[in-house]
């Protein structure tokens, strides 16, 4: 759960920190074998039933933090198996991006309806009355559910006046808007990679830390130690993510990690706004019944997988990440670019061959925090300098649900004041699916649709650190600090046509 510093958060932070420390140091990557003992010291287990199990889970998490695959449980292999191929200064990850550490999984039941001790055995027993299968009876003055008859509809739970009946669902499966998580033959979670869009919601929802995503910390640091200039392009959701780091210190903080400089991805968001506004005016409703935004890769992939007939209605505009990277590559063609943001799906987007993203590495805020810890950077001691000021308030607003559509509508109103633009937004893939189902049925003809895979938008992404409400407040503050408000006022608009052709 984002914003909650738990044992899960602590171990993840330790893993990212140790991988970063190993990369910044001069030790060979084979020392990864020793790290489980450093992260889980002593002889007594603290989190699971066995310290050996704890270290085994940490070993797998260390592997995926370097982009390597999980090992097969049935075969012997050292933690460092294949580490030499990942110890490079180039993009590296062995698919799939998101996977399950099987022996860390709790084998939670997929769905269950249970009567708790709160049952009062009431006279009315509405649970019995509403059950469509007659699965509930009274035994010893309490409600009792016949598991053979129960279809887990949850009507009894809704009807109980004491909330004594609960409907349990596997957290990772409940969080997955694609229905991509099922069970293997042992009842452990299993991801259908054909359905998965790498949003990462299962990752943050698993209380047992059994679901992991591949990282690029080590490779990024190897690039930072090279002679090649390396730039960080930071997503607008960075607002407030690193406690104690002021907007005027962000540049110094990333330079302390070894980056040459930083750029705002909100600059690319301004260009994306202009592109989508012009596309909407040209194509809706003459060529397309509606147009959907394109900046969220998980939402875009879901739409194309689940609604292939409406795929042409997804905007062809390049994402803010790609536009920012292309803009930077125009300035400095030989540089390397690291996207730093809240999103697991960006790792997949940056690796697609179909889109020349020009992004060499992707780090989440959580992974970047591990780099700050490894370098022991004291934010309070950093010098203040020029704040991030290259983007509009509307571009920064892309980080919150509703922000993309709001920016596009504002641009359309300036370009064509008499144009009426109807908008509908959805966040969370299940809600996005419902929105597209209605659009498919013709309910949103002429509309601009905005979809965000993460509930709340990018500020609630799988790689964020802050609680969502605190992130939203920090983003609003950062928007107010922007030097201009409208995306159309960006100084880079003249570059848009050339960036699209790269």
Count other C-beta atoms under 10 Å from residue 70's C-beta: 18
Q: Give the side-chain half-sphere CA count within 13 A for 169.
A: 15
Tell me the pLDDT tens digit for each residue of 432-489. Answer: 999 999 999 999 999 999 999 999 999 999 999 999 999 999 999 999 999 999 999 9
pLDDT at 389: 86
Do the beta carbons of residue 132 and residue 161 sit within 8 Å?
A: no
Structural domain boundaries of the chain? 7-106+177-215, 111-169, 228-485
Strand bridging mode 230-234 / 261-264: parallel
Token pair recorded at residue 212 = 């992991």
Whole-number Å distance between alpha carbons of 186 and 26 = 42
Q: In the 3-class helix/strand/coil scheme, how is 257-289 assigned residue by residue?
A: HCCCEEEECHHHHHHHHHHHHHHHHHHCCCCCC
Q: Tokens representing 270?
A: 């301004």
Please report the pLDDT score of residue 397 as a whole number: 98
Which residues of the chain carry a pLDDT beneath 70? 1-2, 354-355
- Of 200, 202, 208, whose CA–CA distance to 172 is shortest? 202
Query: How confident is the model at residue 148, as a pLDDT?
Result: 93
What is the pLDDT, as a whole number, of residue 1?
60
Residue 12, token pair as written in the block: 């993840």
Q: Which residue has the tokens 């359905």?
A: 195
Angle between helix 320-331 and 266-283 (nearest 10): 120
Cα distance between residue 235 and residue 218, in whole Å: 21
Distance (Å, whole) CA 268 – CA 326 = 9
CATH number for the domain whose boundaries are 111-169: 3.30.70.20
What's the pTM? 0.94
Q: Which CATH architecture has domain 228-485?
A: 3-Layer(aba) Sandwich (3.40)
């Amino acid at each position: 759960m984002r914003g909650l510093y738990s044992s899960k958060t602590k171990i993840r932070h330790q893993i990212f920190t140790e991988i970063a420390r190993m990369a910044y140091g001069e030790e060979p990557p084979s020392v990864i074998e020793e790290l489980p003992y450093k992260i889980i010291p002593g002889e007594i287990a603290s989190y699971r039933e066995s310290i050996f199990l704890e270290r085994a889970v940490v070993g797998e998490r260390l592997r995926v933090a370097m982009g390597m695959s999980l090992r097969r449980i049935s075969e012997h292999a050292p933690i460092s198996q294949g580490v030499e191929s990942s110890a490079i200064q180039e993009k590296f990850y062995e698919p799939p991006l998101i996977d399950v550490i099987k022996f860390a999984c709790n084998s939670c039941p997929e769905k269950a309806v249970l009567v708790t001790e709160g049952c009062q055995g009431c006279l009315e027993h509405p649970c019995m009355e509403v059950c469509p299968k007659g699965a509930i009876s009274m035994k010893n003055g309490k409600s009792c559910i016949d598991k053979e008859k129960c279809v887990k509809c949850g009507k009894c739970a809704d009807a109980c006046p004491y909330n004594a009946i609960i409907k349990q669902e596997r957290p990772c499966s409940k969080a997955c808007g694609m229905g991509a998580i099922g069970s293997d033959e042992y009842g452990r979670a299993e991801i259908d990679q054909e359905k998965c869009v790498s949003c990462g919601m299962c990752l943050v929802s698993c209380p047992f830390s059994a679901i992991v995503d591949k990282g690029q910390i080590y490779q990024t640091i190897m690039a930072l130690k090279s002679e090649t200039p390396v730039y960080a392009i930071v997503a607008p959701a960075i607002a407030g993510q690193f406690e104690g780091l002021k907007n005027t210190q962000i540049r110094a903080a990333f330079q302390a990690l070894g980056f040459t400089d930083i750029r705002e991805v909100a600059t690319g968001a301004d260009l994306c706004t202009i592109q989508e506004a012009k596309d909407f005016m040209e194509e809706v409703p003459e060529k397309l019944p509606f147009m959907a935004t394109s900046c969220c890769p998980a939402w875009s992939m879901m739409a194309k997988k689940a609604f292939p007939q409406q795929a042409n209605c997804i905007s062809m505009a390049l994402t803010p990440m790609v536009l920012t990277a292309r803009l930077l590559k125009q300035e400095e063609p030989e540089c390397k670019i690291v996207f730093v943001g809240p999103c697991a799906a960006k790792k997949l987007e940056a690796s697609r061959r179909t889109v020349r993203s020009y992004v060499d590495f992707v780090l989440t805020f959580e992974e970047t925090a591990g780099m700050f810890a490894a370098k022991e950077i004291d934010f309070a001691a950093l010098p203040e300098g020029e704040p991030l000021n290259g983007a509009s308030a509307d571009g920064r607003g892309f980080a919150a649900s509703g922000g993309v559509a709001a920016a596009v509508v504002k641009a359309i109103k300036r370009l064509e004041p008499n144009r009426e633009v109807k908008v509908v937004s959805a966040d969370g893939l299940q809600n996005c699916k419902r929105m597209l189902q209605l659009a498919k049925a013709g309910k949103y003809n002429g509309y601009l649709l905005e979809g965000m895979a993460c509930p709340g938008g990018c500020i609630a992404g799988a790689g964020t650190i802050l609680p969502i409400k605190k992130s939203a407040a920090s983003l609003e503050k950062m928007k107010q600090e922007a030097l201009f408000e409208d995306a159309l006022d960006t100084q880079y608009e003249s570059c848009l046509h050339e960036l699209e052709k790269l």
